[in-house]
């Protein structure tokens, strides 16, 4: 009987630990990301344009509700963003 | 968008009274921004430079504004295209001077127009930091890495061009979220290279 209860503790402990960590405070947690990109064809100032734009929508959890943050990036900004996020991932991977 | 008329071209005659070619160039540059033909300061300055009444100066600024925006909208880049806009009997050296100045300024104006077009708030700056969570009220000892990303955005306002509104947001991502985000960004990059390849 002692061995059985020991095994039960070993099976459940990692899961319990993960649940507890999952409940740890996160500030402005990123919940979802949506995106679209397209081409600007014309504006009121310029009849013919051909700029690629990228639009991101970030869904952020603030307390009990979520907030949407919209922004637009140019292509160079997008590549820079991607590069920085890859660096962040490399940094976070050092700790696993 | 106002249409170019005979009246606009007759207003340009006032430029013949300008003290120098640079004065004409300055007037062209100053009259370009939206709202310029209504600016009291600008009207007074133009009236003083050309020794004309305020009403006349405003007519001129409006005419220059209409001409420069017409050229920008239709992307007129060849001198012949701009020269063709002027009426037959127009003063030839003034016509050439204006064409030269407008062609010079067009690339700057075009990039300004592109930078100021309506859009969602634009990303200005982005910083990130990786932290290590070591304790919390639910777990006294842990080693969980987390990523914080801070983004600054700017929203250009057409109504008040000098007051761009800045906003910023800081977002926390767990390792899994960061991985998922990178997946999404990678997909965007792949789609962009497909589009670029076409």
DSSP chain B: -PPP-HHHHHHGGGGGG-S-HHHHHHHHHHH-STTGGG-HHHHHHHHHHHT--HHHHHHHHHHHHHHHHHHHHTT--SHHHHHTTS-TTS-HHHHHHHHHHHHHHHHHHHHHHHHTS--SPEEEEEEEEEEEE---SS-SS--EEEEEEEEEEEE--SSSTT-PEEEEEEEEE-HHHHHHHHHHHHHHHHHHHHHHH-
Separation between Cα atoms, residue B126 and residue B169, nearest integer Å:
10
pLDDT averaged over every residue in chain B? 88
What pLDDT is attached to residue B130?
Answer: 95
Q: Which of residues 2-31 of A touch B (CB under 8 A)?
A: 17, 20-21, 23-30
Provide the number of CB pairs (under 8 Å) joining chain A to chain B. 145
Contact A92 B144 (CB under 8 A): no
Separation between Cα atoms, residue A28 and residue B174, nearest integer Å:
11
**The two structure tokens encoding residue A54:** 């990228």
- Per DSSP, the three-state class of A31 is strand
What are the pLDDT digits (tens) for A80-89? 999 999 999 9
Contact B143 A95 (CB under 8 A): yes
What pLDDT is attached to residue B67?
Answer: 92
What pLDDT is attached to residue B37?
Answer: 85
Contact B136 A25 (CB under 8 A): yes
The pLDDT confidence band at residue A54, using thresholds 50, 70 and 90, is very high
* Option in A25, A28, A75 nearest B170 (CB): A28
In this structure, how many other beta carbons lie within 10 angstroms of the beta carbon of residue A69? 19
What are the pLDDT digits (tens) for B134-189? 999 888 888 899 999 999 999 887 666 667 788 999 999 999 999 999 999 999 99
- The residue to which tokens 């160079």 are assigned: A76
What are the pLDDT digits (tens) for B72-100? 999 898 999 888 888 888 888 888 999 99
Separation between Cα atoms, residue B141 and residue B133, nearest integer Å:
9
For A28, which DSSP code?
A: S
Task: Answer yes or no: is pLDDT of A9 > 90.
Answer: no
Q: Is A50 on the interface with B (CB under 8 A)?
A: no
The pLDDT confidence band at residue A50, using thresholds 50, 70 and 90, is confident
Nearest to B99 by CA among B121, B78, B124, B127: B78
Nearest to A45 by CA among B92, B178, B21, B109: B109
| Segment (H or E) for A33 | strand A29-40
Gap between the terminal Cα atoms of chain B: 35
Cα torsion B121, B127, B132, B134 to 10°: value is -60
Separation between Cα atoms, residue B82 and residue A69, nearest integer Å:
44
ipTM value for the complex:
0.82
In this structure, how many other beta carbons lie within 10 angstroms of the beta carbon of residue B155? 16
**The two structure tokens encoding residue A8:** 């039960």
Contact A82 B189 (CB under 8 A): yes
Give helix B54-73 / helix B40-50 axis angle, nearest 10°.
110
Separation between Cα atoms, residue A37 and residue A52, nearest integer Å:
7
Interface test mutation site (partner B, options A80, A81, A84, A87, max chain B beta carbons within 10 A): A81
> Poorest-confidence range of A16-20, A72-76, B84-88?
A16-20
Interface test mutation site (partner B, options A30, A34, A35, max chain B beta carbons within 10 A): A30
Contact B172 A95 (CB under 8 A): no
């Amino acid at each position: 009987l002692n061995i059985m209860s020991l095994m039960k503790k070993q099976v459940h402990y990692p899961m319990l630990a993960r649940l507890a960590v999952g409940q740890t405070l996160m500030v402005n947690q990123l919940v979802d990301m949506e995106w679209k990109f397209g081409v600007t064809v014309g504006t009121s100032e310029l009849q013919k344009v051909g700029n690629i734009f990228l639009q991101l929508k970030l869904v952020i959890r603030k307390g009990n509700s979520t907030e949407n943050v919209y922004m637009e990036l140019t292509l160079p900004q997008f590549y820079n963003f991607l590069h920085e996020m890859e660096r962040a991932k490399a940094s976070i991977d050092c700790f696993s | 968008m106002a249409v170019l008329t005979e009246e606009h071209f007759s207003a340009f005659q006032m430029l013949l009274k300008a003290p120098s070619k640079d004065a004409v160039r300055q007037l062209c540059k100053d009259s370009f921004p939206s709202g310029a033909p209504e600016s009291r300061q600008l009207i007074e300055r133009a009236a003083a430079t050309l020794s004309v009444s305020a009403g006349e100066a405003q007519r001129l600024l409006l005419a220059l504004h209409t001409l420069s925006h017409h050229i920008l909208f239709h992307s007129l880049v060849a001198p012949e295209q701009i020269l063709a806009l002027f009426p037959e009997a127009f003063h030839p050296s003034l016509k050439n001077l204006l064409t030269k100045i407008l062609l010079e300024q067009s690339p700057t104006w075009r990039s300004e127009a592109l930078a100021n077009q309506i859009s969602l708030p634009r990303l200005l700056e982005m910083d990130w930091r990786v932290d290590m969570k070591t304790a919390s009220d639910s777990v006294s000892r842990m080693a969980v890495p987390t990523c914080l990303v801070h983004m600054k955005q700017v929203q250009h306002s057409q109504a008040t061009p000098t007051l761009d509104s800045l906003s910023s947001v800081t977002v926390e991502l767990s390792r899994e979220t960061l991985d998922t985000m990178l997946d999404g960004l990678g997909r965007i990059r792949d789609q962009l290279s497909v589009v670029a390849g076409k």
